[in-house]
Structure 1
């Protein structure tokens, strides 16, 4: 995998998320993907991820995760993205957070992803 291909996968990751196109977003992941999501926990398998993502449209009225910077390893297998998330919860609470995602790309698919962000802005979801 080249660094150029990895950048395209990252670009699509944010493009699809910001469009609310969670089916195409999930298509970027390997069947045996593993994700360590700071709020949702440890997620294994593409079908589990697809099932989880079906609820995104009801959790958020607005969801925009804008990439600020991509860092891609020379072999193109490892990458990181710094982004800014702006969202509005289903109950109308605004969420603003800085985010850092780590990716491992294998054979053109996201095999592993972990995200890290300030969890305080997301406490509104627990109150809703």
Structure 2
């Protein structure tokens, strides 16, 4: 798959809630700078985060507004429309930067205002 195919697949599976397929898009040694979770290294850490995503969101949509591809790099400006586990809405504009090698995401960073995610970050999941 080329860069555009992988980026399109990324948003397709995220919006379908198919987190297992989402994980297959990353290189085993991926590095992620995530606005809420901080610096992450390795797909194993992302695998551990999937449980929190599944449990912590009752809805999660990340809808691309603009996609820019430059070789093995991409930047996507998007809008997240989500809700925490109890249904409190979350709306946020975001940008994701991706770098790919051998048809896998090797680096990703996202940028957004963290305040809209307070309903997710501050919820209690018993």
**Same fold, judged at TM 0.5 (above):** yes
Once the two structures are superposed, residues 74-125 of structure 1 have per-residue CA deviations (whole angstroms, 9 ceiling, x without a partner) of: xx21110011100010122100000100000111000000000111111122
Unaligned runs of 5+ in 1: none
Unaligned runs of 5+ in 2: none
TM-score normalized with structure 1 length = 0.92
Corresponding residue for residue 28 of structure 2? 31
Q: Does 1:110 align with 2:105?
A: yes
Q: Does 1:61 align with 2:65?
A: no
Runs ≥4 in structure 1, deviation > 6 angstroms? none
Determine if contact 1:36/1:113 at 8 Å carries over to the other structure: yes
Name the CA distance, whole Å, in 2 between partners of 1:56 and 1:105: 24
Output aligned runs, 1:1-128, within 5 Å: 5-73=2-70, 76-128=71-123
* Superposed CA RMSD: 1.2
TM-score normalized with structure 2 length = 0.93
Name the CA distance, whole Å, in 1 between partners of 2:109 and 2:13: 18
